[in-house]
Amino acid sequence: MAIGKMTIAAALAVILALNHITASAQEVLSDQKVDSITAALPNMPEDEQKLKALYTLSRHYQVMDSIIKYSLATYYLAKRLNHTDYVVSSCEVIGWYYNMSGKFAFASKYYKEASETYEALKNRKGQAMMLSGCGDAYIGMGKFEEGVNYKLQALSLFEPDTDLSSTALIYRTIGLSCTQFQQYKPALKYLDKALTNDLKVNKRRGIGRDYYYIALTLQLSSSGSGTGNQKLAKEYLLYGLSLQEEIEDLIFIVKSCGLLALIYNDMHITTQNWDYADSSYLYYNKGRHIIEATGYHGDDDIYQIARAEHTMMSGNYISAMQMMQQKIDTPNLPTITLNLLNQALKLCLQYNENYMGLFELTQRLEKNRKKIYVSEFELDFSKYNKQKEFEDQLHSITTTAENRNKLFHSTQEQYMMVRVIIIIMLTFAIAIIVVFSYRNVKNKQYNILLQQQTDEIQATNEELNALLTEAQLQSDLITQQTLEMKQQRNKLASINLRIVINLDIASRFQSSLMPTQETVQKIFNKIFVLWRPLEEVSGDFYWVTEAYGYKFVAAADCTGHGIPGASLSMLGISFLNSIVARIDREHINAAEVLTKLRYRIIESLTRGTVNNEDIHDGMDIAVCIFDTKNSKLSYAGAYRPLWIVNDGQLTEYKPDKIPIAVDKDRTSAFTNNEIQLQKGDRVYIFTDGITDQFGERENGKHSKLKPKRFRDLLCKIYDQTPDSQMREIETMIDQWRGNCEQTDDMTVIGVMEA
């Protein structure tokens, strides 16, 4: 976009935006903010604000050219401003970029500078990471021992039991170095250590990368297609790719797709199963798409090898071999690339075996044809010589006979001459017959051989044409399926957008009906409300109001989650407000509120229906009414209890097992519990979402939190402030849940003082 001079107001806006960005954390910026920062750069003075802007852009972009552009700018400005933090941060990115680009000498320079700076700052972790990067650079230059020494120095700076994530990174790079130098057993040992540490801390990016490098090592160490190592490599790659896609680790998505393309090519060539060829094309195209989008070219060698194999499988053997030879002639190829190229060449020769057999057959056919031609020529030339010799002899004999006839005129001599002539003529005739017979036999043999070779060539051509036709059909089918998938994806995206919009609207509606925290704090002196929806909208609701000198509070769990549960919760809130507005002031009690609420819910859900047997919607609820003048509490519950804690002792008031729903029992009365409150009483009502929450235990099994644990916690924290109690409850929920998903909406209300 065109960038003119910025106004003072625009420049101030950009500077204010940059004040929220720190050198130690990367903010996810919108495109609009990125454009604003980029436009501001040319007119900004060379101060810390511009340094923050350059650093932010260097961490925002994923395109390689943009990363190095802004990282170098950050480095040079930080050096001029003597800003150590930005110097080492930019050195780390620049070193990484040069390592990925194969410029290892430049990478080692920046890594060493960062390492020395971290050492001066006594930052052991930073120093170790830079030493590890320096080791990568030396290994890339072919200095294996020096590179590994740097890695081991980095390991010595970490605490093995606490720095699991960092040591995993070092183990991973040592394993890769061993792979590059064909030391596959130690490589797998170090990569397994890296995977173990990453799994302990659940570092998903590291786990995905560990799986890739283990798969690469297994593929390089496999003795041939179809081996156990290769099958295991494929499984590791597929699992690692799913993690990489989940966290958008784009570079390793490119690496995994390229290696999968090679493995599926291998499996296709071995089994002649075209499903494997389709999979290879799929992952090849997927990786190329990301390469074009990001500008990352660190794995071009793998994709060029895969493309050569695809060219071979399409029948263009000569072009495929030329591509392979061109890659072999490339100077300074990495060891891993050479090993993958060697495997690819073996596969090409195996796949090309039938083609070479056909070529040799054609060569033999041409040699046979030439031999037959030479034999015919020699035979014709011999016949010509013999005929000429015969004619000369005949002429000589004739001349002699004539002379003798003239001289002797003897009948005997004439008879002898005739005999000689007849014998010579018979000899000549026999010679001609023999020559023609021999030629006829040779012609028949030649025709039979030629026909056989022609039939073989025709059969081979028909088979190749059939394979090409099938490949074209498969390509057309893939194109059609890709188009259909894009259409379905666009349709799903549109539906998802509508759902998100509807959920947002429903969430606003539900929030507008429930009391705000300010309202709750005005009604009750000391209270907390913990409300955790499972989704954007909740099937749980809480209700707090004040009327006629009484204070009302309720916690309810409606049938279902999301939109269905939220709809029922909004009905419940509206009905409760209406019931309180019209309640008999002389007979205010919680049981009366539940009875009227049940009537209103049943009336609403059955309106316009004939058969009510299929309606099972409703809610479980606990209602409390505080009479602050007389220190009394009226409680009634439909499947939800009331707990009162005083001096560490918990008293439970059990609810009626009668639902607020369309049920066979629609007339049973709810029990009204009149409770005289004592000094120090803490009142708690809650839904079952908290006690039903699953958590993973040490034995790997899942179990619910259960009411006993919740009781024990409340008895322990009852004398704390409302805010402190709510934090303790949230901490218990999160620690219990661990890596498990939340299973239900959660609501807890605690009243310390009405």
598 — alpha (psi -120 to 50), left (phi > 0) or beta? Answer: alpha
Least confident of 381-395, 402-416, 517-531: 381-395
Q: Is 133 helix (H, G, I), strand (E, B) or coil?
A: helix
Q: Are 242 and 253 in contact (CB under 8 A)?
A: no
The pLDDT > 70 percentage for the chain reads: 83
Residue 398 has pLDDT above 60, yes or no: no
Q: What is the Cα–Cα distance from 632 to 674, expressed in whole angstroms?
A: 7
* Per-residue pLDDT at 344: 74
Q: Whole-angstrom Cα distance, residue 664 to residue 309?
A: 71
Does residue 260 contact residue 237 with C-beta atoms inside 8 Å? yes
Rounded to the nearest 10 degrees, the angle between the axes of helix 124-140 and helix 144-156 is: 170
Lowest-confidence pick of 353-357, 359-363, 502-506: 359-363
pLDDT digits (tens, 9 = 90+) for 609-620: 655 666 668 899
pLDDT at residue number 51: 83
Res 408 pLDDT > 90: no
Q: Above 80 in pLDDT, residue 153?
A: yes
pLDDT tens, position by position, 244-286: 888 888 989 999 898 888 888 888 777 777 888 888 889 989 8
d(CA 430, CA 446): 25
pLDDT at 459: 72
3-state secondary structure at position 487: helix
**pLDDT value at position 360?**
52
CB distance 167 to 197 below 8 Å: yes
Q: In the predicted model, what is the mean pLDDT of residues 604-629? A: 82
pLDDT of residue 9: 30
Question: What Cα–Cα distance (Å) separates residue 273 from each residue in 263, 265, 313, 471?
Answer: 13, 10, 12, 12
Residue 672 has pLDDT above 70, yes or no: yes
HSE of 511, CA atoms in CB hemisphere, 13 A: 11
471 vs 549, residue with greater confidence:
549
3-state secondary structure 343-391: HHHHHHHHHCHHHHHHHHHHHHHHHHHHHHHHHHHHHHHHHHHHHHHHH
CA end-to-end span of the chain, whole Å? 62
Structural tokens at position 66: 């943009």
DSSP class per residue in 61-130: --SHHHHHHHHHHHHHHHHHHT-HHHHHHHHHHHHHHHHHTT-HHHHHHHHHHHHHHHHHTT-HHHHHHH
Stronger pLDDT, 104 or 414, i.e. the higher one: 104
531 and 554 in contact (C-beta within 8 Å)? no
**The pLDDT of residue 698:** 66
pLDDT at position 47:
84
Report the alpha-carbon angle 63-67-72, nearest 5: 155
Q: Is 563 helix (H, G, I), strand (E, B) or coil?
A: helix
Instruction: For residues 263 and 265, give the distance between their C-alpha atoms in angstroms, rounded to a whole number.
Output: 5
| 417-421 mean pLDDT | 75
**Residue 395 in this model has a pLDDT that exceeds 70:** no
For residue 323, which phi and psi values (nearest 5 degrees)? Answer: -65, -40
Displacement of CA 302 from its chain's centroid (Å): 19
Contact 349, 268 (CB under 8 A): no
The tens digit of pLDDT for each residue in 36-55 reads: 788 878 888 888 888 888 88
pLDDT at 27 exceeding the cut of 70: no
CA distance linking residue 130 with residue 146, whole number of Å: 15
Residues in the chain, overall count = 754
Residue 747 pLDDT exceeds 50: yes
Per-residue pLDDT reduced to its tens digit, 694-735: 987 767 788 899 999 999 999 999 999 999 999 999 999 999
The whole-number average pLDDT for the span 484-510 is 75
d(CA 490, CA 483): 11
Tell me the pLDDT tens digit for each residue of 108-144: 899 999 888 888 888 888 888 888 889 888 888 888 7
Name the pTM for this structure. Answer: 0.41
162-208 pLDDT, tens digit per residue, is 778 888 888 888 888 888 778 888 889 889 988 998 898 888 898 98
pLDDT greater at residue 217 or residue 610 = 217
Supply the DSSP symbol for 560.
S
User: Confidence band (pLDDT; 50, 70, 90) for 17?
Assistant: very low
**Higher-confidence position of 550 and 383:** 550
Supply the mean pLDDT for the chain.
Answer: 80
pLDDT of residue 16 exceeding 70, the answer is: no
Beta-bridged to residue 653, according to DSSP, are 642
Tokens of 165: 């994530």
What's the per-residue H, E or C state across 23-71? CCCCCCCCHHHHHHHHHHHHHCCCCHHHHHHHHHHHHHCCCHHHHHHHH
Q: Are 198 and 206 in contact (CB under 8 A)?
A: yes
Asked whether the predicted pLDDT for residue 149 surpasses 80, the reply is yes
Q: Is the pLDDT of residue 212 over 60?
A: yes
- Regarding predicted confidence, which is higher, 422 or 498? 422
Average confidence (pLDDT) over 582-602: 91
Question: Tokens 């409760």 identify what position?
Answer: 576
Whether pLDDT at 488 is above 80: yes
Q: Which of 749, 721, 548 is nearest to 629 (CA)?
A: 548
Assigned CATH topology for domain 516-753:
Phosphatase 2c; domain 1 (3.60.40)
Region of 678 please: left (phi>0), alpha (psi -120 to 50) or beta. Answer: beta
Q: What is the DSSP string of 435-483?
A: HHHHHHHHHHHHHHHHHHHHHHHHHHHHHHHHHHHHHHHHHHHHHHHHH
Give residue 169's pLDDT.
83
Domain ranges (residues) in the chain: 362-494, 516-753
Asked whether residue 465 carries a pLDDT value surpassing 80, the answer given is: no
pLDDT at 313 over 60: yes
At residue 82, the pLDDT reads 85
